[in-house]
Structure 1
């Protein structure tokens, strides 16, 4: 529980409408909870606070201009988000983590590379099963580089009008070329599907051609990340357009233990995280599945007034997740 002094400050700031004082008091409470190893609670409080202030400990405070819109329906083509997740929350296989850290290193020391006539990689492809950290990794990269995360909205980008999808793509590329951000093209297979597929009509083939040309010509200020769960249907020419390719996979046993250690930090429990029964329970699940199960089990524990999280809580939560 936060100290009485901080709670008084929080209430005074809230009733007075002092946003800056409210944010500072809220940050103090979050920091206290982290020091107590209550990371689940601290993360939730942080998301609530920064989703409205769009400012993570002073980061990403720069403003971005209005995003381009779809001519047909007036929908925004990008969803600008302010990243909250840092590198210490990322649990990946060693090869994937090394690739992310190398990418971050290139961008952090961009000036040195440019002094030698080189530049950091700015076109990266993520592929692998759903729920294994692709979107999270894009957010972490944006957070670490102190950039907004711009998620390209496929529902607005893809148009029913002939040629309008390519025109929307051009708007997106023009925008991210001018303003520095991490631009995430999620479900990229919708734009880069194999052109030789006889079931696809000419308009979609033209879209793939447009994507290839725009990626080829791209020399903008943003880092482009394309992510797909269906790499097998990507056009063969797509792969050559990316400077770095990172594969994501379901967690290994060691990764399951790390995930559980992270998500259950500060939670009192009746079992050992690295016990064989616990690891076997989560074997084959994605990282997102594991996080949902842990959250569901923790809620069950809290609502039942239990002091400790039990193995039965996890099993019950897992059963509900499987049925879902």
Structure 2
């Protein structure tokens, strides 16, 4: 049974209609049940909590889904709008990067205070670093913490084979996000923001980059624009100046790897310590996404073999199966 503090938070949030606080308290209850090994109950509670998110969002803003623009050539939506599900506790970052995320959240939570002094919260932020290090997750977390829908721009739909259509698609996206209060993620941003001086690129891409710069400059909507790239060296130098902040998402160090394993193996009984030097050496150079995949595979094996405890052997076997460790 959930402890009294969490139950009080849950009832208070429900009474006040505070959707974000209600979700956080509900997730704390789910986490508590999972730590007690009540996995079936935890799964049922997750289904109840997250299954209703779309209905809540639709009731709050019925025009949101109807307004999503589509590519003229293929008719596919240019954005994927979804309810965020993961909170700030779900990400492990270096202290400097984590502090910048916290600053963004504080600026938007206290936006009226800033505006009273003639200032605005950061509205355009770029994330950069290797794949799997938390850029997309951070966008979802910002959306969750600010209680906004997450809109992921579909780069595959945005980039058209028709001359000039990519810029037209970009215009549709910016017009849409200006009308709504969203957290918008342009993933793989280098696909539309490459260096214009690259001699290998054709004139159409240079026109697209120019269109991106113009739209970023003129944008004045309420949505927060986030861009993510795994190849920051490919971006046009002028792109960086359009963002209020740039946040790095590097590969985790040993301390962060230990914290990631703690997070991904919470509620799982194990026969090893998470700061084991040999274990952390096995994960050195791996991303947060790698750690999550390995932990999930190892726990599945433990469950299917009816083992009471997880061992380092299962983790190392999962590393091999994921192609992340030599035999």
1:131–1:208 Cα change, 3 Å = same
Question: Deviation at 1:233?
Answer: 0.4
SS of the aligned residue for 1:237 comes to helix
Provide the residue aligned with 2:165 in structure 1. 164
Ranges in structure 1 where 5+ consecutive residues have no aligned partner: 3-23
Match of 1:203 in 2: 204
Q: Once the 2 structures are TM-superposed, how far is the Cα of residue 60 of structure 1 from its aligned partner? A: 8.8
The CA deviation at 1:88 is 1.2
**CA shift at 1:322, angstroms?**
1.3
Structure 1 residue 55: Cα displacement = 5.3
Q: Would the alpha carbon gap of residues 273 and 74 (structure 1) be closer, same or farther in structure 2, given more than 3 Å must change?
A: same
TM-score of the superposition, structure 1-length normalised? 0.86
1:31 aligns with 2:29: yes
Find the counterpart in structure 2 of residue 9 from structure 1: none
CA positional deviation for 1:145: 0.3
**Unaligned stretches of 5+ residues in structure 2:** 3-21
Q: Kindly state the Cα deviation for residue 266 of structure 1 after the two structures are TM-superposed.
A: 1.3
TM-score normalised by structure 2 residue count: 0.85
Please list the CA deviations of residues 274-306 of structure 1 after superposition, one character each: whole Å capped at 9, or x if unmatched. Answer: 111121111110000001000000000000010
Where in structure 2 are the equivalents of 1:1-324 lying within 5 Å? 31=29, 34-35=32-33, 37=35, 41=39, 48-50=47-49, 52-54=51-53, 62-63=60-61, 64-66=64-66, 67-322=68-323
Question: How many pairs were matched up?
Answer: 300
SS of the aligned residue for 1:132 comes to coil
Q: Secondary structure at the match of 1:241?
A: coil
Q: CA deviation at 1:54?
A: 2.2
In structure 2, relative to structure 1, the CA distance for the partners of 1:130 and 1:43 (3 Å cut) is: farther
Superposed displacement of residue 162, structure 1: 1.1
Q: Deviations over 1:75-115 (max 9, x none)?
A: 11100011000011111000000000000000000001111
Distance 1:307 1:156 in 2: 47
**Any idea what the Cα deviations from partners look like across 1:110-160, whole Å, max 9, x if unmatched?**
001111111101000000000000000000000000000000011111111
**In 2, Cα distance between the equivalents of 1:51 and 1:70?**
29
CA contact (8 A) 2:193 2:209 kept: yes
* Residues 1:44 and 1:243: Cα distance change in structure 2 (over 3 Å): farther
- Measured against aligned partners, the alpha-carbon deviations of 1:36-66 in whole angstroms (never above 9, x if no partner) come to 525995886566445542259x789633242
CA–CA distance in structure 1, aligned partners of residues 26 and 106 of structure 2: 31
Give SS of 2:237's match.
Answer: coil
| Alpha-carbon separation, structure 2, partners of 1:279 and 1:34 | 27
Q: Aligned-residue CA RMSD in angstroms? A: 2.6
